[in-house]
A and B are shown apart, each in its own frame.
Chain A
Amino acid sequence: MEQKKSQQSDEDIAALVQAGDVDFFGVLIHRYKEKMIRYARKFLSDNEDISDIIQEIFIKAYTNIQSFDINRKFSSWLYRIAHNELVNALKKRKKNTLPLFDLDTFLPYSIKDDSFSQDIDSQDTQKMINKCLDQLEPKYREPIILYYLEDLSYKEIAEVMRIPISTVGIRIKRAKEKMKFIFKKLGYRL
């Protein structure tokens, strides 16, 4: 039984929960709790707050699971719930949060010409991200976390943040430029 559970995809398990097999929701919690904690830690520092928010994320996921389309990725759907919870938490704490409207979601951008990113990708990106992340605005911080630390694709990040795919690309590009600048200011060499 346990082996069967571990072989099933998130979407299959979500379908079982939708069908009323509540126990399977525990499998989804175990698969994602670590990722959710890691994700929340990039925005909040208080452990108690994080614990409450993670609980709230999974509770929201359970109450709304019938709205999940099993033909889409469960991870993007769950990160979307987490994104909303974190935005609300940041608002409550009056911290720098995501803008309601941003000009970079208005116009299309070409994200093909990204020679700069190749330059940085070849470096120790993880090291740089960890050093500079706190100094980035949330609108740049979030796509960087989702792309480099959580391994989500541009399309999945667009689903989570509900922004155009080209905007994800441009924000990651700008975030890397900003990080490169911060990194140099801190005295590190690329």
Chain B
Amino acid sequence: MNNQQEKNFIAEKVLDKIKSGEVKMKSRAYFVLRAVLLILGILVLTFFLIYFISFIIFSLRASGALFLPKFGFSGMKILFNALPWLLILIAATLIISLEIFAKRFTFVYRRPIIYSLLVIIIIVAAGSFLIDKTGFHPNLFRKAQERRLPAIGIIYRDFGAPRIGNAHHGVIFEVIKSGFKIETPCGEELTIIISSKTHFPLKADIKKGDVVVVLGKRSDGAVQAIDIRKVNKGRFFRR
């Protein structure tokens, strides 16, 4: 078959298939529905990502990990080990998925990935920051503690305020001779023992209702404090 014959053969074969009904045109409604589903998918993914990242921030704050940089290098080391790497990895995967979805739009793929990635990160970070400012997660956390949150309650109980190594976060509910007693966000009570070796810059100011992060080894219900810092009160405590 020469070149011209080959070209005509291709055209004829395609047109035959179309005219015989073997090949059918997809309707406009199909493409509209697909576009609507894509936009909906992007919106759902964005909201889920905002929820997810704000949950990670909440979890870091509730566990006290977010306050660890106040302890300097040793605090940073504990923070690095305490970071919820699995959740961070899931969040990164979700961001990449969102980028892949967004790349179906002309205004996204025409520009370098760094731009769309930055826009996604800014939107998600701003949304997470706003949610963090509300009592959304602390309320759900409290409900989960009181067993009034079905389905996702287990997530808040297991990952809401995880224990991190030798760092302990809680509100002071009683000042005693050897130190003070705190209640953690999970409702656990711990006795903090202060000794001459304890580094505690604002010792004189200590009072009931203060929120602290304590570094020290825990044994049963007591912690031999090495370092103590007062931090801002969150919305995690019942007292």
Contact = CB atoms under 8 A, between A and B. Distances in A.
Interface string A26-70: 100110011001000000000100010011001100111111000
B26 interface: yes
Contact of A63 (B7, B25, B103, B112): B25
B11 A62 contact: no
A135 to B, nearest CB: 26
Nearest to A158: B110
B202 interface: no
Contacts of B18: 22, 25, 62
Nearest to B28: A66
B134 interface: no
Interface in B107-146: 109-115
B108 to A, nearest CB: 9
B17 interface: yes
B25 to A, nearest CB: 6
B43 interface: no
Assign chain A's interface to a size class.
35 or more
B27 interface: yes
Interface in A125-159: 155, 158-159
B106 interface: yes
Contact of A67 (B14, B17, B31): B31
Main secondary structure of the interface of B (DSSP, over half): helix
A30 B11 contact: yes
A5 interface: no
B39 interface: no
B11 A33 contact: yes
Contacts of A109: 112
B14 A58 contact: yes
Contact of B26 (A33, A64, A159): A64
Interface in A147-174: 155, 158-159, 162-167
Given A22-B18, A63-B26, A66-B26, 9 more contacts: A22-B19, A25-B15, A51-B6, A59-B14, A63-B24, A64-B31, A106-B113, A108-B114, A164-B111
Interface of A: 18, 22, 25-26, 29-30, 33-34, 37, 47, 51, 54-55, 58-59, 62-67, 105-109, 155, 158-159, 162-167
12 contacts: A29-B14, A33-B7, A37-B10, A51-B9, A54-B10, A55-B14, A63-B26, A66-B27, A106-B112, A159-B106, A162-B109, A164-B113
